[in-house]
Structure 1
Amino acid sequence: MNREQLERMKNGKGFIAALDQSGGSTPKALLNYGIKEDAYSNEEEMFNLVHEMRKRIITNSAFTSDRILAAILFKVTMNSKVGDKYTADYLWEEKGIVPILKIDEGLAELKDGVQLMKPFKEIDSLLENAKERNIFGTKMRSVIKELNEESIKKVVDQQFEYAVKISNAGFVPIIEPEVDIHAEDKAEIEEVLKKYLIEGLEKLDKENYVMFKLTLPEKENLYHDLLNYPQTIRVVALSGGYSREEANEKLRKNEDVIASYSRALTEGLNVDQSEEEFTKLIDESIEENYKASVEK
């Protein structure tokens, strides 16, 4: 593990840029960017286009370590290059931004109010690949849609089971049990989730560092107690379908929580914008997310 990156993630000021749309979400991300599905005819062409979009963001003059701590990448992005460097090396060596990899293989079908992660079939080879590409941490996402305590426990148990394996391999995993913002019993779900997250933390060895990526809660500072454990490096917030403005308004009410946005970061960016227009828009987005993360 890179100790300089660990120190930056633990104590640095800024937020995490989530640039990790994968197979299922890539067409929507491209469409939001102004690229329709008839612009590509297969998966390879689609991923080439999304890499160009991500590369345009990463290399932009506004995308700097002054305000951005880390960036979450998808496997294809990790194994693609920016100039003559692999993306993670470019981020760290040229920008001072910590590289993180989305590692899950997607969501299972909805069952008993939750979507667990699909079993990880390629985790060993993917972690080996991540080590070769100088990745610092990983991210894996589940979804909770209904108040079902047994199911919520299953989500948390699965996340921690993989987190220990990932941590033992030398990475810092981000545990992401997203609560659907439209869930009928969202506040109650979050209380149950917190209980099991703390139970999971209490079972971790001291050297098993983790981060949490969580839906902005109904109760302000609900997840603050997670930071009382030395294994917790950060608690970060996903936008989860909220607009950037809405997400940042909620984020400001939660101390010691920083943003980790995808759609709310790239909102409004378009392939046809001039570099001047593109830079102005992404700079404004980064500034809004940064301020909401650090000015409490």
Structure 2
Amino acid sequence: MNMLQLERMKNDNGFIAALDQSGGSTPKALAIYGIPKEAYADDTEMFQLVHDMRSRIMESPVFTKERILAAILFEKTMDSKVDGKYSADYLWVTKGILPILKVDKGLLDLENGVQLMKPIPNLDDLLSRAKERHIFGTKMRSVIKEANKIGIKAIIDQQFEIGKAIAAAGFVPILEPEIDIHMADKAAAEEILKQEILEHLKTLDANCLVMFKLTLPEVDNFYEEIMKQPNVVRTVALSGGYSRKESNEKLARNPKLIASFSRALTEGLNVNQSEEEFNNMLDESIQSIYDASIK
């Protein structure tokens, strides 16, 4: 583990840019960016277009370490290059931004009110490649759709089991048990989730470090107790479908919780914008999210 990177993640101001749309979410991300499905013939062309979008964001002069701590990458992005360097090296060496890798392979069908992660085949091989590519940490997502104690416990069991293996391999895993923002009983699900996380944190060895990526809570400062645990490097928030304005307003009411936004970050960006228009829009987005993250 790179201790300089770890200290930066623990202590520096900023937020995490989520640039990790996978195969399932890429068409929607491209459509919002102004590229319809008719513009590409197959997955190869689709992934090239989304890499071009991500590269444009990363190479922008406003995408800097002063406001951005880290960026989450999709596996194909990790294996692709930006300005002649592998993406993680471009981020860290050129920009001073920590590279994080999305490792999950999508979600299983709904059971007990939740969607567990699909099995992650060849995780050891993926982590070995990630080490070669100089990745700092990982991220993996599950989804909670009901305040179901059995389902939520199953999600946290799975997240911690895999997270421990990732930490043992020398990375800082981000555990992401997302709560659907449209749930009628969202606050009840958050209460169950917090208690499960706190119980599982008691089982970790002192040298096992983790992060959490959690849906913006109904009760302000709700996750403060998690943030204070010695094994927790940082806790970040996902936008989960809220607009950037809503996300920032909610985030600003949660001290020490920082952003890890995807849709809220890229909102307003378009493939047809001039470089000046694109950079101005991205600068406005980054500044608003940064401001909300440091309050």
Normalized against structure 2, the TM-score is what? 0.99
Question: 2:123 — aligned with what?
Answer: 123
Greater alpha carbon shift after TM alignment, 264-273 vs 120-129: 120-129
Equivalent pairs: percent with the same residue? 63
Deviation at 1:287, TM superposition (A): 0.1
* Residue identity opposite 2:9 in structure 1: M
Cα separation, 2, equivalents of 1:83 and 1:149? 47
Question: 1:201 — aligned with what?
Answer: 201
Greater alpha carbon shift after TM alignment, 220-229 vs 66-75: 220-229
Matched, 1:2 2:2: yes
SS of the residue 1:63 aligns to: coil
Deviation at 1:228, TM superposition (A): 2.1
Question: 2:135 — aligned with what?
Answer: 135
Cα separation, 1, equivalents of 2:82 and 2:254? 35
Cα separation, 1, equivalents of 2:122 and 2:48? 22
Matched, 1:30 2:34: no
Cα separation, 2, equivalents of 1:70 and 1:83? 18
Question: 1:262 — aligned with what?
Answer: 262
* Residue identity opposite 1:4 in structure 2: L
Cα separation, 2, equivalents of 1:246 and 1:83? 34
* Residue identity opposite 2:213 in structure 1: K
Question: 1:67 — aligned with what?
Answer: 67
* Residue identity opposite 1:246 in structure 2: E
* Residue identity opposite 1:120 in structure 2: I
Question: 2:179 — aligned with what?
Answer: 179
Deviation at 1:42, TM superposition (A): 1.1
SS of the residue 2:154 aligns to: helix
Matches within 5 A, 1:99-118: 99-118=99-118
Cα separation, 2, equivalents of 1:156 and 1:216? 18
Cα separation, 1, equivalents of 2:96 and 2:217? 31
Cα separation, 2, equivalents of 1:55 and 1:184? 38
Question: 2:285 — aligned with what?
Answer: 285
Matched, 1:53 2:48: no
Deviation at 1:83, TM superposition (A): 1.8
Deviation at 1:38, TM superposition (A): 1.2
Question: 2:239 — aligned with what?
Answer: 239
SS of the residue 1:108 aligns to: coil
* Residue identity opposite 2:197 in structure 1: L
Once the two structures are superposed, residues 224-243 of structure 1 have per-residue CA deviations (whole angstroms, 9 ceiling, x without a partner) of 00122211000100000000
Once the two structures are superposed, residues 59-93 of structure 1 have per-residue CA deviations (whole angstroms, 9 ceiling, x without a partner) of 00000000000000000000000122100000000
Greater alpha carbon shift after TM alignment, 67-76 vs 119-128: 119-128
Question: 1:19 — aligned with what?
Answer: 19
Question: 2:220 — aligned with what?
Answer: 220
SS of the residue 1:222 aligns to: coil
Cα separation, 2, equivalents of 1:238 and 1:7? 22
Deviation at 1:124, TM superposition (A): 1.1
Question: 1:88 — aligned with what?
Answer: 88
Question: 1:251 — aligned with what?
Answer: 251
Task: Could you list the structure 1 runs, at least 4 aligned residues long, displaced by more than 3 angstroms after superposition.
Answer: none
How many matched pairs? 295
Ranges in structure 1 where 5+ consecutive residues have no aligned partner:
none
Cα separation, 2, equivalents of 1:25 and 1:228? 33
* Residue identity opposite 2:37 in structure 1: E
Cα separation, 2, equivalents of 1:275 and 1:65? 20
Once the two structures are superposed, residues 196-235 of structure 1 have per-residue CA deviations (whole angstroms, 9 ceiling, x without a partner) of 0001111011111000000000011111001222110001
* Residue identity opposite 2:243 in structure 1: S
Deviation at 1:122, TM superposition (A): 2.2
Deviation at 1:247, TM superposition (A): 0.5
SS of the residue 2:202 aligns to: helix
Give the aligned CA root-mean-square deviation in angstroms: 0.6
Cα separation, 2, equivalents of 1:119 and 1:138? 16
Cα separation, 1, equivalents of 2:53 and 2:8? 26
